[in-house]
């Protein structure tokens, strides 16, 4: 992540959120239905993914739901300036336990994003822990190939 870089922001968002037992969904004007849809998908998929990995999420998930890809691209969170990382279309950004999603208009694609994000958070917790000290220590000890990690998430 690079600091001192900014994306052009065309809109100012006033964020609202819904709080659920295991997660929050943040949204802005016009995104109420999207946030409710993400909440339904998360409620359905969290128990399924937890059962699959035989591990429960230990920290509250935060879903930040953007109404469109263009709105999502205005965010400075997780900004990378390398050519390969700048085109972030089709990629769900996850920073710790915060999941950034954008609506593509297709419930199937949204469920795919939500399910993959839940799986990635659980795998990160299983491999690296939730505390910063554990993450640093385990990151040097554990080396999981990207193809395996992302393949398991896709599965």
CATH of the domain at 121: 3.40.30
Q: Which residues contact 147 (CB under 8 A, 6 or more apart)?
A: none
What local confidence, expressed as pLDDT, does residue 44 receive?
96
CA distance linking residue 139 with residue 155, whole number of Å = 23
Which of 102, 134, 118, 128 shows the shortest CA–CA distance to 57? 118
For residue 34, pLDDT beyond 80: yes
Give domain status of residue 6, yes or no: no
Q: pTM (2 decimals)?
A: 0.73
**Is 4 part of a structural domain of the chain?**
no
- Is the residue at 53 inside a domain? yes
Average pLDDT, the chain: 77
Whether residue 9 lies inside any domain: the answer is: no
In whole angstroms, what is the distance from residue 104 CA to residue 101 CA?
9
Most confident of 14-23, 99-108, 118-127: 14-23
Range of the domain at 69: 16-154
Average pLDDT over every residue of 120-149:
66
Residue 76's pLDDT band (cuts 50, 70, 90): low
∠ CA 96-154-86, rounded to 5°: 55
Residue 87 has pLDDT above 70, yes or no: no
Helices (H), the chain: 32-53, 69-72, 83-86, 107-128, 132-141, 146-154
Q: What's residue 126's pLDDT?
A: 82
pLDDT of residue 155: 66
Q: Which of 14-18, 55-59, 99-103, 139-143 has the lowest mean pLDDT?
A: 139-143
Count of domains forming the chain: 1
* 67 occurs within a structural domain: yes
Whether residue 30 is predicted with pLDDT greater than 70 in this model: the reply is yes
């Amino acid at each position: 992540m690079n600091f001192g870089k900014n994306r052009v922001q065309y809109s100012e968002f006033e964020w609202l959120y819904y709080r659920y037992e295991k997660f929050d969904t943040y949204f802005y004007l016009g995104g109420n239905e999207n946030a409710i849809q993400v909440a339904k998908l998360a409620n359905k998929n969290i128990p399924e993914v937890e059962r699959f990995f035989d591990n429960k999420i230990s920290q509250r998930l935060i879903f930040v739901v953007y109404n469109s890809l263009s709105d999502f691209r205005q965010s400075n969170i997780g900004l990378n300036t390398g050519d390969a990382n700048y085109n972030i279309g089709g990629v769900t950004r996850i920073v710790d336990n915060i999941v950034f999603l954008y609506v593509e208009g297709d419930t199937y694609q949204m469920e795919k994003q939500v399910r993959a994000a839940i799986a990635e958070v659980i795998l990160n917790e299983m491999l690296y822990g939730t505390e910063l000290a554990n993450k640093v220590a385990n990151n040097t000890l554990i080396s999981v190939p990207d193809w395996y990690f992302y393949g398991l998430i896709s599965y």
